[in-house]
Amino acid sequence: MKNKSISLQTLLKTVLAMLLLLSVFEACKKADDPVVVTPVDKTKLKARIDSANAIYTSAVEGVQVGNYEVGSKATFKNYIDAANIIYGNAAATQTDATNAYVNLGVGMTNFAGKRVQEIAAANLILYLKMDGNANDASGKGFNGALKAGAQPISATVTSGSVTQAVSWTGWGGSATNVPALTKDRYGVDGKAYTFDKGSNIEIPYNSVLNPAKEFTIALWARPTKINESSYMVSLNRWNGYKFQLQSANKPFLTVKTAPGKYIDKDNESPTLDVNKWYHLTVTYKSGAMTFYVNGTPVKTWTDVSGDPYAVKSNINLVIGQDLPSNLYQLNEKDDADGNNFNGPWGGYFTGDMDEIRMYNVVLSDTQVKSIYNAEKP
């Protein structure tokens, strides 16, 4: 029995030794096997780089239709350069190549958005160049008339079944206090209008000036005094829409969207300086109100909803004051058309204005920028 036990032990040792040798052999064999490396496919990346280079080479920066926003080519070139680095890197992985392909695609999309698109003539509904007059250059024929600010009144008016005496001292201007021609932002005489004490430009009401879905107002302004309610463009003030500067001298838009519902927002920042020209733009559609200063978007509000309300009364559009001056003799409050006159609840703009445009569409960032670049001093 003893000899048999020894034999089994020896056998076990022998088997273990053989297994050990076999594992060493297999390990050596695997180490000697060649490593199979899958080549990185950069074909799609190369094709996209070539396409991007062709677009970049042919692109022209400028403010004309078909041009690209000034400075946009340099940004696009950064995307192309980043893709070329990956394409030329022998150590780049397939994931690297795929990511570079996707990122360059993003750059191409962004650059395409910088292309200046034509604004259809039909979408420009008012254009006051103010080159010596208040005529409309949009082709729609909405010429303005120069008006003095609201004058002192003392009258008897009837509202419903109630007749009462009303009086008001007015803005302090005179019957001859109409907008006067002045220097524009280039310093050229007679190419802009200056406004004060309610002097205004009045444009006969037309439903075209009350867009049903969306709009853009763009103008050059040089405020010379900060007023509480510094109205620049107003269609029946809060019963339609009004673009003004508020008490901190920030652009401010009010849009009525339903009976009793008003959207009031400002640009938050910056606060405008007095005696300085600015290009001010605001766009509105349900879901977005955006303010621009000198072609740059400074604030977008998304907590806004509702289409612009259809003004029921034929109240004229006013530049430089909240309402047509003759309406201050009315003392109706919340009349059947949703108006609320009741005296001078609004205000007037003090300073200079020029190149007032209104569109019945929301302009893109690039379109707003192109107008500014084309007209800046």
CATH topology of domain 121-375: Jelly Rolls (2.60.120)
pLDDT at 1 over 50: no
Neighbours of 47 (CB within 10 A): 11
Question: pLDDT: is 245 or 339 the higher one?
Answer: 245
pLDDT at 62 over 70: yes
Distance between CA atoms of residues 28 and 33, nearest Å: 9
Q: Where are the domains of the chain?
A: 43-112, 121-375
Tell me, yes or no, if the two domains 43-112 and 121-375 fold the same way.
no
**DSSP string for 258-317:** ETTEEEEEE--SPPPPTT--EEEEEEEETTEEEEEETTEEEEEE-S--SPPP---S-PPE
Distance between CA atoms of residues 203 and 235, nearest Å: 10
Q: Do residues 334 and 313 lie in contact, with contact meaning Cβ atoms separated by under 8 Å?
A: no
Distance between CA atoms of residues 377 and 373, nearest Å: 9
Which of 186-200, 219-233, 310-324 has the least mean pLDDT? 310-324
Q: Which phi and psi (to 5°) does residue 13 adopt?
A: -60, -40
User: Is CATH 3.30.450.20 what the domain over 43-112 is classified as, yes or no?
Assistant: no
Average pLDDT, stretch 59-86? 92
pLDDT at 27 over 70: no
pLDDT tens digits for range 267-303: 999 999 999 999 999 999 999 999 999 999 999 999 9
pLDDT at 19 over 80: no
C-alpha neighbours within 13 Å on the C-beta side of residue 356: 27
Average pLDDT, stretch 317-339? 72
Q: Residue 313: what pLDDT?
A: 72
User: Average model confidence (pLDDT) for the chain?
Assistant: 86
Percent of the chain with pLDDT over 90: 65
Which of 17-31, 239-253, 323-337 has the least mean pLDDT? 17-31
Alpha-carbon dihedral 289, 294, 296, 297, rounded to 10 degrees: -20
